[in-house]
Every structure is written in structure tokens, then in C-alpha cells.
Amino acid sequence: MGLIDSKRVQRLYDQVVASRKNCRFEDIERLLVALGFTVRKTSGSHVVFKRADRTISVPKHRPVKEHYVEEVIRLTSDLFGPG
């Protein structure tokens, strides 16, 4: 996959990386949608995002637990470089 060069998307990514311990679901959702992920399904309090061969389930909690934020960073880091 090619690197993302949009400044807006890069800013969203940087915001998520900087707020790992206090990240809002809405910020993660905006980032993933901007990167081309689609909402695959919602199940209870979780939303499943999918893009090609990448899938992640994120709870709609505030704040999102650091484990899920780390997973989003790991899943998208090759689009931006190291997080």
C-alpha cells in the first residue's frame, strides 16, 4: 500500500498516536474512514472496520482503551511510517 500524504489524515494519525491513553472513539473512526476503512458491522458496543485484508474491532467507549489504540496504530503504521 502506498504512503498517505494528506496533511489532514497525517494530523489525525498524529493525534491518535499522541493520545494513546485518552483517545476518543470518534477520533479513531475519523482516522480509519479517512484511510479508506469502511464500517463492516456493529455488534453491541463494538464497530468493525475493514479495508482490503485489514480488519479491526473497536469499542465505542470513551476513552478507548490503550490496547485498541495500539492495535489501530499497528494496523495503519505502514501507511505513515513508525508511530
pLDDT tens track, the chain, 83 positions: 445 558 888 899 999 999 999 999 999 999 999 999 999 877 788 999 999 888 999 998 889 999 999 999 999 888 765 54
DSSP 22: S
Report the distance separating Cα 58 and Cα 10, nearest Å.
20
Calpha distance 1→80 (Å, rounded): 10
Let me know if residue 16 belongs to a domain.
no
CATH number at residue 62: 3.30.920
Give the predicted TM-score (pTM) of the model. 0.84
In a domain, 10, yes or no: no
Phi and psi (nearest 5°) for 43?
-140, 105
| Full domain range(s) for residue 37 | 25-78
One-letter amino acid of 16: V
Q: Let me know how long the chain is.
A: 83
Instruction: Quote the CA–CA distance of 42 and 16 in Å, as a whole number.
Output: 22
Instruction: Note whether residue 9 is domain-resident.
Output: no
Number of folded domains that form the chain: 1
- According to DSSP, residue 65 is labeled P
